Structure 1
């Protein structure tokens, strides 16, 4: 277990509530912004003071409640939404990217995003690309062995999330290693793909801080899944990116969810160990059968709750996360796949 940087923030998480807007360091604020219909409850938006306003890391979902909470949090820090000069988006999931366009409309702020995520915007959030994305997801689920009665429901399960995003093309593409050029801040981007292809963290070397987005969280692990917009082997990318951030000598990690924490290297080691255990569990499940589908493997794994109580949207995520582990094992010669509809998995 990692040490919370602020015990009150951790207790708010454990109690099922919301932490306070907080001045983390001189010139740096943490603002909880609510997420609707989600067990994570809030995203932590960080406001960095500039000579002429603030830059924010992530933005929140596009709802009036979220916008109001962000505006109130900025007000506590002495600013308004019109004072936002930059929105640094760690990745394109709605709780991070959703409000960025609305903030830009109000303030004129520039939006920064990694090009790997920028390339996904049209298919994910533009009406013109959605049908094709759902069709590709459906094919992936067919090859995973999802039962026919569930296919259409699972293939379109995330479409409701599009309502929480204001579509906005980035003004600036943030590449790995880029210095952001924010006055008073030594902020550098670190490309950390896995949870999304273009996920980035931001390291502040002078203040010894890491803004980790969803890449490294204090208690849970982010979903790393194969899906129509993922890289071919996202788990390999994620584990490599974990090693990349482990080397940073920082005093504090500022994640997008739960609470701030210390001991970055220890947490990275714990997450890597978790995935090693999961890989071994999946290898055992595949080895116990004579050809098994991804879906059937997912139903036999240990999850945080019984499989039959997991809602459809989360079952799809569980299937696709299982597939990411299967693909990793296949790439290392520990499993083999016989392609079909569905694909079948065997010991190597």
Structure 2
């Protein structure tokens, strides 16, 4: 774990642990605002995370009771999870992009429907029935059904009105439908959430309730950040970095190469399912070393690349049980 760090006057970085997760921690940013504090993201909903957040605020000379607002980059548990607990302790409002607020609470439907949707999605894309059941049973539905709902819905381009702060909402969909960065023009800082990380690329996947084309959205979102004058990027994981332009180009190039690799895999095995293709793509570790949830995410990322290739009319899909993929010319 990195230390709690004073990044600039009135701006602190607080690492909050994510238990039993290879990412290890999320970086929560605390900004002084008037006589209080504004948080960007909140951390994982666990007691050890809560204590780390409280300890970090104590190091900067304040307490969680002085938090006035929690600005959440997206609705994943390591970012949104503790926001409700912060709100209960301080009365702070929680702000989240409208598109990421939609699938919370009543938008999820019943737990039975949620489980059925996930099972059918995995099986439809080639995962064996037994593996699909094991995978869904291992998913923590409570993280979704008990996630706090926001008090304020953010929109792209919105200027957030807070004492002594000037923050702009930059909508960057892809990792989630409503993922948003926060730009501070005065100090040329970009709080990038999971959209741009210094070393790894965020997971862009197609899952049971995915709408649209998330990888296409993500690539457009990378281009949108090119217009901002940024001295330093403050991501939610890993570490701060400069030269945003270089990193954007690297990430776009990564997906161009991954699309080519995925297309080559379809050409080599026409009629393969998404599950079969995912097992033969190159990952950071062998497929045999992946756990059930890592394989689910790998399938989701593979489907995102397949979906974009299909939108470009380079491949086609056929069948519903399971769906199989073919080069466009052979269909």
Shorter-chain-normalised TM-score: which range?
over 0.9
| Deviation beyond 2 Å, 4+ runs, structure 1 | 128-131, 155-158, 162-167, 228-232
| Cα pair 2:234 2:241 within 8 Å, conserved | yes
Report 1:1-348 matches (<5 A). 18-122=1-105, 129-159=110-140, 162=142, 167-348=147-328
Q: Which has the higher contact order (CA 8 A, sep 6+)?
A: 1
**Bigger mean CA deviation after superposition, 30-39 or 229-238:** 229-238
Unaligned runs of 5+ in 1: 1-17
RMSD: 1.4
Residue deviations 1:198-219 (CA, integer Å, cap 9, x gap)? 1100010111000000000000
Q: Distance in 2 between matches of 1:75 and 1:340?
A: 55
Q: In 2, distance between residues paired with 1:35 and 1:263?
A: 28
- TM-score, normalised via structure 2 length: 0.96
Contact 1:63 1:164 in 2 (8 A): no
Q: CA offset at residue 221 of structure 1? A: 0.6
Given the superposition, is the C-alpha separation of residues 165 and 137 from structure 1 closer, same or farther in structure 2, using an over 3 Å criterion? closer
Distance in 2, Cα, partners of 1:260 & 1:129 = 40
User: 1: CA distance between counterparts of 2:234 and 2:145?
Assistant: 24
Q: How many residues align?
A: 328
Displacement after TM superposition at 1:166 (Å): 5.1
Asked whether the 8 Å contact 2:43–2:82 carries over to 1, the reply is yes
- Deviation per CA, 1:100-155: give whole Å up to 9, x if none: 0010000000000011110111268x7x5332222111111111111122111123
Question: Normalising to structure 1: TM-score of the pair?
Answer: 0.91
Alpha-carbon distance in structure 2 between the residues aligned to 1:165 and 1:25: 37
Structure 1 CA distance, aligned partners of 2:130 and 2:146? 32
Alpha-carbon distance between aligned partners in 2 of 1:235 and 1:314, rounded to the nearest angstrom = 19
Aligned pair in 2 of structure 1 residues 284, 164: CA closer, same or farther (>3 Å)? closer
* C-alpha distance in 2 between matches for 1:64 and 1:328: 40
Could you say what secondary structure the match of 2:224 adopts? helix
Structure 2 alignment gaps of length 5 or more: none
